Chain A
Amino acid sequence: MKYILNILMMNTMKAGAGVPGWPKKDLQAHIAFMHNLNKELRESGEFVSAEGLSFPDQAKLVRAGKDGTLITDGIFPESKEFLAGYWIIDAATPERAYAVAGRISAAPGPGGTPLNMPVEVRPILSGPPPEML
């Protein structure tokens, strides 16, 4: 069954205090960790897709205006959580999905300490639940 594993960051994390502020070898260790995890998931056949998203600085919130116009808004409150990236995996059980999420969560941070970042695990649908229609 397909699951999406969402890496969530707080807006306050992204500049200065967060990843951008780490020492070089810690950054390298973090990148290598992700690299290896991806390799493992590809080899096990569980990897479906993964994307990294650009930080929300240039993000836009788009709304349909009247008469086909569009409204864009680029302001996000500092405390807002944002999606930094995700993996989609095909896991045999929810427990397996949680285990992979746990691996991601344990990715090393400054000083090599596991980050324990929150990873949101959601099932992926092929359509709205059938009982809804």
Chain B
Amino acid sequence: MKYILMMNGTKADFDGYAKWSKEDLQRNVAFMRAFSKELKDAGVFVATEGLGWPQEAKIVRADKNGEPVTDGVFPESKEFLAGYWIIDVESPEQAYKIAARASAAPGPGGKSGSMPIEVRQVLSGFADLGI
């Protein structure tokens, strides 16, 4: 069963992260790398991506002529996807356990965090669309 584990953050969260000390950032990056490796070693890894900063985000809508209209203004409270993992596991419980590991990623000062990780099942049968 495939699950997506998502890390979200507001613009303020991202800005906060940008202000971390170099050591804290390196420690966090090292954790993320080790975590992905753990997933690979366990044979559950499917994909992972980190997303760009909210400043770079655009919302696109088609106007009445079908032309794309882009907008870069968002409410302060909006949560942006910061990154995700997709894993292939035997049960939802296994997915939650793995998510808890991600949640514990070290924050400022090197303390284990408790970041909320959203866990949702990935739809099967999507990959065949358009083949």
Contact = CB atoms under 8 A, between A and B. Distances in A.
A52 B97 CA distance: 23
Given A62-B116, A119-B59, A128 B25 contact: yes
Contacts of B49: 4, 88, 124-125
B113 A64 contact: yes
A78 interface: no
A59 B126 contact: no
Q: What secondary structure prevails in chain B residues at the interface with A?
A: mixed
B61 A105 contact: yes
B50 to A, nearest CB: 4
Interface in A41-85: 41-42, 47, 49-54, 56, 58-65, 68-70, 72-73, 81, 83, 85
A106 B59 contact: no
Contact of A58 (B63, B78, B121, B127): B121
Interface of A: 4, 6, 34-42, 47, 49-54, 56, 58-65, 68-70, 72-73, 81, 83, 85, 88, 94, 98-99, 101-103, 105-106, 114, 116-129, 132-133
